[in-house]
Structure 1
Amino acid sequence: MEDALSERIEIVLRREFDEFYELESCQQLSAGASQETWRITFRSRSGESRLALRRRQPNAVSQSGAGAITLEIEAALLRLAVQSGIPGPEVFYVLQPDDQLGSGFIMQWLDGETLGQRINRAPELADIRPQLARQCGELLGRIHRLPWQNTALADQLPSITPADLVDQTWEYYCDINVPVPMIDYTWRWLKDNLPVDSRHTLVHGDFRNGNLMVTAGAGINAVLDWELAHIGDPMRDLGWLCVNSWRFGNSELPVGGFGHLDDLLAGYESTSGLNVDRQTLRFWQVFGSFWWAMVTLQMAQAWRTGETPSLERPVIGRRSSEAQMDCVSLLIPGDYRLPASDDSTVTGTQLPMPGELLAGVEAFLRETVAKQLDGHSQFLARVAANSLSIAQREFRHGAKIAQEETARLGELLTANDDLDTLRWELVHQLRDSLPLNTQGLAEHLRQTVACQLFLDQPGYSALKNEY
């Protein structure tokens, strides 16, 4: 398959690039929800050159990702942004049907760091990190003033109000058909706290740590991945940048895990000329975690149905509890209890015990297999090890956690039934008219989400208790 892809890419390069001499390699770097990124290396008359190819995955049979625009529209938007002084790669060529490469575009190759964890921790970026929050604010102020109205994008970009965006996200969640009461609770809160008189501008839609390219000299030298761009409330971009999921463990720094909110807002106000209402910003921060809690479940559902076979997707689905816990922290903070240590699956007279078998395979994948692989295969070996870690915790603690959740729901709803039925009953009541301040509701949701997160990802920064 990759040989055929390389041949088709070479035909395009030979036709479209005067300097092209010989293709050296095509290497896939990443595969997101529906898009792939490839590095193209070729020889030209002036030496070795590189390009980047962004294209739709050939097996992505439907737009399961919420709100994505086409790659052709994304290419036009990226061109507008770069022409208007927003740092990013120049788009050289948009793929055509006759190219037999699917939907996508070829763009300038840029060097820099895009991994969120490294942006937050790499020693070589230590001097530039304190400047990134203000740079983000300045760039967002300029993005929100891009002149989209006088281009073909005016008819191509979706336009959506905050109310419609909240309901659309909740409807995506309803379509998955699983009972997750914290998502319904957050939906109700968002409906009750919608922004008043929101502005109407171009919104990047995915402006966060991980979609920014950073260098030690320039700071942010590219704003990437415009596939969720739309016309709407610009405060969504600022709130999304501050969502805890994109701080990569540095929760004390609310802007991407690298900066302070005052610096972000000062930068934004300097280029937009507008003051930011912090309550509106909080609304969009809550919405960001609500949206991500839904999208992770949506990815897992696409895996379960066979739409997108992947080792990573089911593990991503287990990240929904991270975003739900961030909603808990923002809306109903308080105390909770995590499970006590339970070694029943790893200690006993059976040799080896079931938990020991799982632990041995996990260690083999993480410490031996992953270290012998490169690139994406190494990443997948670690994903497999994480899957086994989740299974071990579920094996040790899942039954007791479920028993306690059932008891709490029975008391809250004054009902006696199995856990799934009780979860659905709480969801239906939240969707109807159950007051959000019902006695015991916040405590139940906080405890339930914390325990689920303990099973899924106990090291996530929102889980403060010792375990």
Structure 2
Amino acid sequence: MDRAQVAEGLTRFLAARTGGEVRVENLARLSGGASRETWAFDAETPQGRLEGILRADPVPDAPTIPGRELEYHLIRAAWDAGVRVPEPLWDGDDTFPVKFFVMRRVPGETLGARLIRGEQYARAREVVPFQLAQDLARIHAIREAEHPELAALERPPAGKSSAEAQLDYYENNYRTSGLDPHPVFELAIRWLRQHLPQPCEPVLVHGDFRLGNFIFDETGVRAILDWELAHWGDPMEDLGWLAVKSWRFGGKRPIAGVGDREAFIEAYEAAGGKQVNRQHFLWYEMFGNLKWGVITMTQAGTYLSGRNRSVELAAIGRRTAETEIVLLDLLEGRLD
């Protein structure tokens, strides 16, 4: 959608929702990938000034995951559960030819390296791990029986645990990539097959819970973002992914670069999260590093094939070796 179309439609939509004349200002499209459009705006409304975000599908009837309507319901369920998320204000209607919703804008920062290094974030570094543990426990407390609107989210196929289904998916991606073999990945896959955790009751899993996907300021976490990979699965998946070394952005501690495993686990359990089996956690930390390694490898393949000559893909492709080093450490029982 172009700026004029968004401005006109958004003005009409907000006027209908707030009961009077609306003036939209400072409308600007934000970066955020091809799978969605994100527009920031300010608006003067009969209910006061609104600093908002419009999230929309890119083109009519385009299949997106999870889709804007489902994304709205995800954020609404998280908001109702007490998770730090942007306040979801209104689900969309037929104002635009695409699915959309409006939420309140949250000020702050998302760049992980700034949390790790910024002097102004010293206090935030102390509290972020505990805030993340609270938010994760609240996300995992959301149940499908209480939120039937989330039934369309992906889930493990019948007869397979979430862990096995996830491992199958990424092993298949690795083996069909057509790129050079990676013996370390072979060792990791073998270990993961031999140590599959027991199946558990599926809960809502964020799917990309990590540093870089939440807004923070000097006080700590302000809002959890990026719900595109949410699904029903094993809660330990989120814990293991948060500990993946690549998501520490140079930080020396395992949880988002600023927290320790045991303190985080204790905070997660104290906030109502499932009791954490350390081997279960380790399985998903190992799997998370393998998963990211396979992603880096396949993105390098996309660049090398010429399908997409993005320099970003090439740079990500150079990081495969980093994940192999981490996997070797984990296989040897060396945690950092």
Relative to structure 1, is the Cα distance of residues 286 and 19 closer, same or farther in structure 2, using a 3 angstrom cutoff? farther
**Contact (CA 8 Å) 2:20, 2:46: kept in 1 or not?**
yes
Cα deviation 1:92-150 (Å, max 9, x = unaligned): 233445512x3432211111222211122222221232122122222222221123322
Relative to structure 1, is the Cα distance of residues 234 and 131 closer, same or farther in structure 2, using a 3 angstrom cutoff? same
2:230 maps to 229
Query: Which residue among 101, 115, 119 is the counterpart of 1:119?
Result: 115
1:440 maps to none
Q: In structure 1, the residue corresponding to 2:209 is in which secondary structure? A: coil
1:401 maps to none
Relative to structure 1, is the Cα distance of residues 288 and 93 closer, same or farther in structure 2, using a 3 angstrom cutoff? same
Identity %, equivalent residues: 31
**Contact (CA 8 Å) 2:44, 2:50: kept in 1 or not?**
yes
Give the gaps of 5 or more residues in structure 2: 157-161
Separation in 1 of the partners of 2:49 and 2:291? Answer: 42
Separation in 2 of the partners of 1:33 and 1:323? Answer: 27
Q: Give the deviation of 1:304 after TM superposition.
A: 6.8
**Contact (CA 8 Å) 1:60, 1:307: kept in 2 or not?**
no
2:159 maps to none
2:127 maps to 131
Separation in 2 of the partners of 1:311 and 1:143? Answer: 35
Relative to structure 1, is the Cα distance of residues 325 and 305 closer, same or farther in structure 2, using a 3 angstrom cutoff? same
More helix by share: 1
Q: Give 1:42's aligned amino acid.
A: A
1:69 maps to 66
2:284 maps to 284
Relative to structure 1, is the Cα distance of residues 19 and 327 closer, same or farther in structure 2, using a 3 angstrom cutoff? farther
1:152 maps to 148
**Contact (CA 8 Å) 2:85, 2:222: kept in 1 or not?**
yes
Q: Give 2:325's aligned amino acid.
A: M
Separation in 1 of the partners of 2:19 and 2:309? Answer: 39
Question: Counterparts of 1:318-397 in structure 2 under 5 Å?
Answer: 318-331=318-331
Q: In structure 2, the residue corresponding to 1:257 is in which secondary structure? A: coil
Separation in 2 of the partners of 1:99 and 1:245? Answer: 39
Aligned residue pairs total 328
Question: Counterparts of 1:236-255 in structure 2 under 5 Å?
Answer: 236-250=237-251, 252-255=252-255
Structure with bigger gyration radius: 1
Relative to structure 1, is the Cα distance of residues 175 and 241 closer, same or farther in structure 2, using a 3 angstrom cutoff? same
Query: Which residue among 185, 188, 208 is the counterpart of 1:183?
Result: 185
Separation in 2 of the partners of 1:163 and 1:245? Answer: 23
Query: Which residue among 85, 93, 110 is the counterpart of 1:88?
Result: 85
Give the TM-score normalised by the residue count of structure 2.
0.85
Q: Give the deviation of 1:227 after TM superposition.
A: 1.5
**Contact (CA 8 Å) 2:111, 2:212: kept in 1 or not?**
yes
2:259 maps to 259
Q: Give 1:232's aligned amino acid.
A: G
What is the root-mean-square deviation of aligned Cα atoms in Å? 3.1
Cα deviation 1:194-234 (Å, max 9, x = unaligned): 112434221111111111222323x2221222211111110
Matched, 1:24 2:25: yes
Query: Which residue among 186, 195, 198 is the counterpart of 1:196?
Result: 198
**Contact (CA 8 Å) 1:136, 1:267: kept in 2 or not?**
no
Relative to structure 1, is the Cα distance of residues 10 and 249 closer, same or farther in structure 2, using a 3 angstrom cutoff? same
**Contact (CA 8 Å) 1:61, 1:307: kept in 2 or not?**
no
Relative to structure 1, is the Cα distance of residues 170 and 56 closer, same or farther in structure 2, using a 3 angstrom cutoff? farther
Give the TM-score normalised by the residue count of structure 1.
0.63
Separation in 1 of the partners of 2:195 and 2:33? Answer: 32
2:315 maps to 315
Separation in 1 of the partners of 2:303 and 2:91? Answer: 30
Q: In structure 2, the residue corresponding to 1:222 is in which secondary structure? A: strand
Relative to structure 1, is the Cα distance of residues 11 and 302 closer, same or farther in structure 2, using a 3 angstrom cutoff? farther
Q: Give 1:289's aligned amino acid.
A: N
Cα deviation 1:73-103 (Å, max 9, x = unaligned): 1210110110121121122233445512x34
Relative to structure 1, is the Cα distance of residues 234 and 43 closer, same or farther in structure 2, using a 3 angstrom cutoff? same
Query: Which residue among 75, 79, 85 is the counterpart of 1:78?
Result: 75
Matched, 1:53 2:59: no
Query: Which residue among 101, 104, 121 is the counterpart of 1:105?
Result: 101
| Range with greater deviation from structure 2 (84-93 or 8-17) | 8-17
Q: In structure 1, the residue corresponding to 2:265 is in which secondary structure? A: helix
Separation in 2 of the partners of 1:276 and 1:169? Answer: 24
Q: Give the deviation of 1:57 after TM superposition.
A: 4.2
Separation in 2 of the partners of 1:90 and 1:299? Answer: 34
Separation in 2 of the partners of 1:269 and 1:61? Answer: 40
Separation in 2 of the partners of 1:17 and 1:307? Answer: 46
Separation in 1 of the partners of 2:312 and 2:43? Answer: 31
Separation in 2 of the partners of 1:272 and 1:333? Answer: 29
Separation in 1 of the partners of 2:11 and 2:30? Answer: 18
Q: Give 2:194's aligned amino acid.
A: D
Separation in 1 of the partners of 2:248 and 2:332? Answer: 21
Relative to structure 1, is the Cα distance of residues 191 and 123 closer, same or farther in structure 2, using a 3 angstrom cutoff? same
Q: Give 2:172's aligned amino acid.
A: E
